[in-house]
Structure 1
């Protein structure tokens, strides 16, 4: 059982805790006063009409729902209009206003209330759109900082990435990927953090930060995995973990891979598509202390024309209306193009069609292709090309 983090707790004396509490006013807050203002206006008009015994004040009741349309939402407008109608009817009866005039007054109040409710609803939707755009802008910036867009070529590989967050408004999720050239060859990772939301994003950031440092520092790929495992053991809760494939290309024709509880990548050689199953399955990152199993290094040949597709379970566990999983291997066979970006774009489009347009889990695809004649990092890196990255929703 891995060690849990201990958090020190300090007792604060009661008198000091009370003194430290922020001062709160006994009066209502400004938003509450803003919503109460139309109601107070209606009551003021009603009191003036009752006190004077004159119905001349009655048309001013329409100012209540009109003002509510500016200061509050649809429920405030409807509530103010209802109050104005009830008080208008009572004043009409009290002042002996003819029924026809009272009916005209109520019709006017109803019209103003409905128009105000419509305007308040549109204003509310406009404010939500503006707020959503602000959230998307911030989240997109965070996404680009967390998942750095890979170049179109990295070392000897042509690269394409497709990432879709389940929370389309946020544009970020718990899936992670990185692909970087290092003194030990190109190294890359694809992983999936347990859970969603901000905690998953924080864990993904932790894994990527450790990977990018260790990938440069450690000559041995297993040592990179050990660094990530130790960091997660110190920082994760007991029920959290990360599935991941960590891989490297240290020399021409040699691909190294460590699979920690993740879905097996697909190796494409010619027209043959083969899942790279680990010879010795090991638990996800963060759970090694519970099992005692050390990760195992897989080595396989990877030559000119070969491709490797890594993905997260948001792809293979996506279901259609009949609850059938998306057949990724079959989709890959249908979309084997020379250009990796064309392949992943076609797979993503087919995936969205399979689920009916909206994913319910984060999904990531990373495709590498080794074209003929491309040099490896240890032999000299090809000229870089402009970054290309797509975030789908």
Structure 2
């Protein structure tokens, strides 16, 4: 989507023919909802589960972030009860006019705000991945922050960790983001997906407030 005052970039590179990762953007009213999810495993099974998550989160967009994620939990509990599969996810809602950002992290732990002063703010709401049941007993409460001018919300799947500088992964991301901007940073991540160190799907989302 195009939103005045923001640069939004995203991309995904499957390790095989089908990806268990996905990202999604949806608008409802003045809000932008951003999702990045990673179904455990590779191939057809995880890809189908990821599609289920996407479809559920796009249904009834007027629901609150918490209600939307609770419903995904319920669906996955039914579908995955007899398997060992689960889904880690970050579901966020941005109000562009204020920069207010709500984030629910379901066992993913790879969502951050990189501030204009180069500091990092992790965005983690403590709970297990989707489909593991605990989300129903322990309500998922969003963490809230604000994007100021120059701040960037970034999220990736864990496949990106394989190809970052092992000694300084945060510095690696910051240098690329500063030098190349959101679009260039995503292109670089997808280029690194062809690196021999890459062993998993790689998905990246960047939302930067420019004004």
Same fold (TM over 0.5): yes
What secondary structure does 1:284 align onto? coil
Q: Which residue, out of 191, 195, 204, partners 2:37? A: 191
- TM-score (normalised: structure 1): 0.49
Q: 8 Å contact 2:123–2:143 — kept in the other structure?
A: no
Call closer, same or farther: CA 1:328–1:180 in 2, change over 3 Å: farther
Partner of 2:70: 226
Give the CA deviation at 1:282: 0.4
Would you say 1:282 and 2:131 are equivalent positions? Answer: no
Question: Could you say what the CA RMSD is over the residues aligned between the two structures, in angstroms?
Answer: 2.5
Q: 8 Å contact 2:73–2:136 — kept in the other structure?
A: no
Q: Which residue, out of 158, 164, 171, partners 2:13? A: 164
Partner of 1:330: 171
Alignment of 1:62-211 (within 5 A): 151=1, 153-154=2-3, 157-167=6-16, 170=17, 172-183=18-29, 185-211=31-57
Give the CA deviation at 1:291: 8.2
Q: Which has the higher contact order (CA 8 A, sep 6+)?
A: 2
Call closer, same or farther: CA 1:264–1:275 in 2, change over 3 Å: farther
Q: Which residue, out of 332, 345, 358, partners 2:187? A: 345
Partner of 1:301: 146
Q: 8 Å contact 2:105–2:126 — kept in the other structure?
A: yes
Give the CA deviation at 1:288: 2.5
Distance in structure 2 (CA, Å) of the matches to 1:287 and 1:259: 14
Call closer, same or farther: CA 1:363–1:197 in 2, change over 3 Å: same
Distance in structure 2 (CA, Å) of the matches to 1:234 and 1:347: 35
What secondary structure does 1:181 align onto? strand
Q: 8 Å contact 1:189–1:247 — kept in the other structure?
A: yes
Call closer, same or farther: CA 1:290–1:273 in 2, change over 3 Å: closer
Partner of 1:268: 114
- TM-score (normalised: structure 2): 0.87
Distance in structure 1 (CA, Å) of the matches to 2:135 and 2:24: 27
Give the CA deviation at 1:158: 1.6
Call closer, same or farther: CA 1:347–1:371 in 2, change over 3 Å: same
Q: How many residues align?
A: 208
Call closer, same or farther: CA 1:290–1:311 in 2, change over 3 Å: closer
Call closer, same or farther: CA 1:290–1:348 in 2, change over 3 Å: closer
Partner of 1:236: 80
Q: Which residue, out of 100, 106, 109, partners 1:254? A: 100
Q: 8 Å contact 2:38–2:89 — kept in the other structure?
A: yes
Give the CA deviation at 1:337: 4.0
Q: 8 Å contact 2:13–2:193 — kept in the other structure?
A: no
Partner of 1:385: none
Give the CA deviation at 1:293: 2.4
Distance in structure 2 (CA, Å) of the matches to 1:342 and 1:266: 18
